[in-house]
Amino acid sequence: MRLISLLRLAAQAESLRWRRMGRGYAIQAALGAGAAAFALMLLVMLHVAALIWLAEGRNGVSAALIIAFVDLVILAVLGWLAARHAEDPVAVEAERVRNDALRQVGDQTARVAMLAPLLRSQSAKKGLVGAALTAAVVGLLTRR
């Protein structure tokens, strides 16, 4: 009885911990969205200031076109940087290690599954057939 109450207490504590972490992440996301909105307004005001500054000696349309061209160049550079797909060598190595570990688990499972019917069977012939079928099924499942 005490074990069940301890497990229930642990589950309730874990649930509370996840709810509080979620609440904290939600608050952080809301504050980040507010900061992004003010950053966007700052960018707009900087564009307006640049437009006014450039328009003093030129036509307003040419000043707006200069700002648009600068924005286009910045957009192209940032877009090019975002489109590059550089693989993280640590992530590639982690994926290789994971695949190797899963393959080894599959191999070990297949060996155990193949030997278990042999050990349980009264007849060696029936045990070999059961082992072969079990190994084939486990092999098919681990290759997925």
pTM for this entry: 0.49
102: its two tokens: 């899963």
86: its two tokens: 């550089």
CA distances from 6 to 11, 14, 126 (A): 9, 12, 47
66 neighbors 54 (Cβ within 8 angstroms): yes
Rounded average pLDDT over 114-128: 61
Alpha carbon distance 122, 135 (integer Å): 19
pLDDT tens-digit series, residues 8-48: 888 898 899 899 999 999 999 999 999 999 999 999 999 99
Query: What's the pLDDT at 89?
Result: 82
Query: What's the pLDDT at 41?
Result: 95
